[in-house]
Amino acid sequence: MNIKWLSIASGVILLGFVFILSANKFNVFGEQKNEASLRARYDQLFNLKDYGKAYDEFILGSAKTNLSRDKFITDQTEAKNQRKNEDIVSESYKINKVVISGDIGYIDRTLIYCKDASCKLQEYSRDYKKWVYENNHWYYSTETPACIRDTAYNNPPELARAISLIFQRYTETYGKDKIEDFSKCIYADYSPLSEEAIFVFDSKVSSPDKLVIHVSNSYKSYDDLTIALLLSHEITHAGQFLTYWSDNKSQNCFTDEAKAFLDQFFFTRSLNSEEQKSILLRMGTYRSNQQIEMLSEMTPIGQQAYNQCNNGFSECYVNTFQAKLESWLKTVPYYQKECGN
């Protein structure tokens, strides 16, 4: 090869080398599937102010079926204006954990909203963000799942059946988009308890990945429906734990208890007609079971709320029922002690 050809050949090689370098810089070939690349993609999306570009380059293809580009831009703009209206001057994020499972990546992140320049006044919002690795890139699925476990815990079979029934009936009644199914994160076992069951609020024991419910040993001999009634109350507490994990806002013990009883009562409305008849029959004739007894005590309270709200199932009915339950619980010694009053 003469000198001329050699210089042309090396020029081509050099150009190729520069191209590879630029391609990497501009991400033409995508990124590797690992935690560092997912963190980097999240950071790029977080700092991107062009919502159209965010949609085009970061949103998962399958998520776009139910989310148009215009809708995405409108939603993002509205959220931005909302933050402005709430006097949020700046926001940042902190990644607590990244979990990669196959082509799925979950980012546990906390958004920190500053309400003054020095950020002494803060608000939080914590979620799991689900990303998917596809065609050599990480894409945001727009999903924020409450539970990221692939499999359920090995709970005692009758507790597992009750948990499954609760989420099945809720979903059938209220719709998949309204009910967040976190059943795979519920860890339930039997314990020698003085109470019927407890959800453990202590964050050293429970976490979003392990929502711990203890059930009294005495329930081992009960039927599935009674256990489901009992667990519907504790599952509301598990949901309250997840909400607290997400927004870090202080809770009111009596309000949380009233809500748990209300959900327990409404769970019976989600049951099928034969299941409802079974409960109604037992409320009339056989009340040795504490769960049926509680429903019987709540029924006249619900009736009062119903009458007070012009005999209709409405927001007024739900709020009045809950307020009445709260007043009632404040008179019960167990809850006075439990709620510290």
Supply the minimum distance, in Å, between the C-beta of residue 209 and Zn ion.
22
Q: Considering only 17-25, 112-120, 224-232, 249-257, which stretch makes contact with Zn ion by CB under 5 A? A: 249-257
Supply the minimum distance, in Å, between the C-beta of residue 261 and Zn ion.
7
Torsions phi, psi for 264 (to 5 deg) = -60, -45
Residue 260 interacts with Zn ion (CB under 5 A)?
yes
DSSP letter (8 states) at residue 222: S
CA distances from 238 to 68, 146, 167 (A): 34, 11, 13
Closer to Zn ion by Cβ: residue 127 or 257: 257
DSSP letter (8 states) at residue 217: G
* Lookup result for tokens 């079974």: 278
What's the burial of 125, exposed, middle or buried (CB within 10 Å: 0-12/13-18/19+)?
middle
Supply the minimum distance, in Å, between the C-beta of residue 264 and Zn ion.
9
The first and second tokens of residue 196, run together, are 């019927």
Closer to Zn ion by Cβ: residue 34 or 290: 290
Q: Considering only 244-252, 259-267, 309-317, 328-336, which stretch makes contact with Zn ion by CB under 5 A? A: 259-267
Residue 235 interacts with Zn ion (CB under 5 A)?
no
Q: Considering only 8-16, 36-44, 128-136, 250-258, which stretch makes contact with Zn ion by CB under 5 A? A: 250-258
Supply the minimum distance, in Å, between the C-beta of residue 322 and Zn ion.
14
Supply the minimum distance, in Å, between the C-beta of residue 69 and Zn ion.
45
For residue 199, the SS3 value is: strand
Please, what is the Cα angle at 221 between 220 and 227, to 5 degrees?
A: 65
Closer to Zn ion by Cβ: residue 260 or 298: 260
User: Which residues are paired to 131 by β-bridges?
Assistant: 105, 140
Binding mask 11-30 for Zn ion (x = CB under 5 A): --------------------
Name which of 313, 291, 292 is nearest 302 in CA terms: 313
> Within 282-321, which residues bind Zn ion (CB under 5 A)?
none
Q: Considering only 118-126, 150-158, 180-188, 254-262, which stretch makes contact with Zn ion by CB under 5 A? A: 254-262
Closer to Zn ion by Cβ: residue 200 or 271: 200
For residue 117, the SS3 value is: coil
Closer to Zn ion by Cβ: residue 142 or 268: 268
Name which of 261, 262, 295 is nearest 278 in CA terms: 295
Closer to Zn ion by Cβ: residue 45 or 162: 162
Closer to Zn ion by Cβ: residue 130 or 237: 237
Supply the minimum distance, in Å, between the C-beta of residue 178 and Zn ion.
22
* Lookup result for tokens 């709020």: 319
C-alpha span between 167 and 165 (Å, rounded): 6
Supply the minimum distance, in Å, between the C-beta of residue 278 and Zn ion.
24
* Lookup result for tokens 């809770």: 251
The first and second tokens of residue 193, run together, are 């308890």
* Lookup result for tokens 């002690």: 337
Binding residues for Zn ion, rule: CB under 5 A, are 257, 260
